[in-house]
Amino acid sequence: MFSILQAAGWPIWPLVACSVLAMALVIERFISLKAIKVVPPKLLNEVLSVARTSVPGPDVVNQLEKNSALGEVLASGLRALSNNPRCSEDELRSSMESAGRLVAHRLERYLSALATIASAAPLMGLFGTVVGMIEIFGSQPPTGATGGNPAQLAHGISVALYNTAFGLIVAIPSLIFWRYFRARVDEYLLTLELASERLARHLNTLRK
């Protein structure tokens, strides 16, 4: 492996750094976007059950807020009604929407960086290809001269081909994972929106 990196020349090292960063981002997103940490399947029904007749106390709301991203959004609605029992339905929804925007920002964290790597890696590989082509042309003798530098020619070809290939190797998985995480986040956001809408209707009837 190290011999390949040596043959690819110095332009390969930024791509190696991008590959390590992309792998770290993918692992971090897999850990952070687990369903149990974002939208536990039974949490909404449990909240509706606890708040069947009245708004839960501050301890329950605080515990709910720390439970997950969904719990944070639902807790914001319960806290808004607890602090101001006469708050309007629009104020109640606005409170949960504000919490939802903060949660959405956290769910989308690092996705732009992963997309940037997917877009930049082929260009970095192309840059390495250009460097390799420069070395190839530099190995050619001046007009009228004979012979050349076979070692420099071979190195230029290695730089061009290895950087092109490695750029695609980094970009393709990064793009695939970015699309996967983007779809996963969109699904979570839809679930959060529907859950907050259901809780808002319940709290509105509870207030009446």
Q: pLDDT digits over 63-118, tens only?
A: 989 989 999 999 998 888 888 878 788 888 889 999 999 999 999 999 999 999 99
- 201/208 Cα distance (integer angstroms): 11
Q: How far is CA 182 from the centre of its chain?
A: 7
Burial of 38 (0-12, 13-18, 19+ CB in 10 A): buried
Torsion of CA 49, 38, 191, 55, to 10 degrees: 30
The model carries a pTM of 0.83
Q: CB pairs under 8 A, 24+ apart, for 64-70? A: 67/40, 67/43, 68/36, 68/37, 68/38, 68/39, 68/40, 68/43, 69/37, 69/38, 69/39, 69/103, 69/106, 69/107, 69/188, 69/192, 70/38, 70/39, 70/40, 70/43, 70/44, 70/191, 70/192, 70/195
Q: By mean pLDDT, which of 36-40, 50-54, 113-117, 141-145 is the weakest?
A: 141-145
144: left (phi over 0), alpha (psi -120 to 50) or beta: left
Q: Which of 72, 90, 70, 69 is nearest to 81 (CA)?
A: 90
Q: Choose between 38 and 152: higher pLDDT.
A: 38
Torsion of CA 193, 198, 200, 33, to 10 degrees: -40
Q: pLDDT digits over 195-207, tens only?
A: 999 988 888 877 6
> Max Cα separation, the chain?
96
- Measured CA to CA in angstroms, residue 202 lies from 77, 95, 164 at distances of 11, 15, 57
Domain tally, the chain? 1
State the average pLDDT for the chain. 85
Q: pLDDT digits over 113-141, tens only?
A: 999 999 999 999 888 888 878 777 766 66
Pair of tokens at residue 59: 């301890």
Pair of tokens at residue 47: 């909240």
Of the CA atoms within 13 Å of residue 78, those in its CB half-sphere come to 25
Per-residue pLDDT, 147: 52
Per-residue pLDDT, 128: 83
% of the chain residues with pLDDT over 90 = 45
Q: At what angle do helices 111-138 and 12-32 cross, to 10 degrees?
A: 170
Range of the domain at 55: 2-207
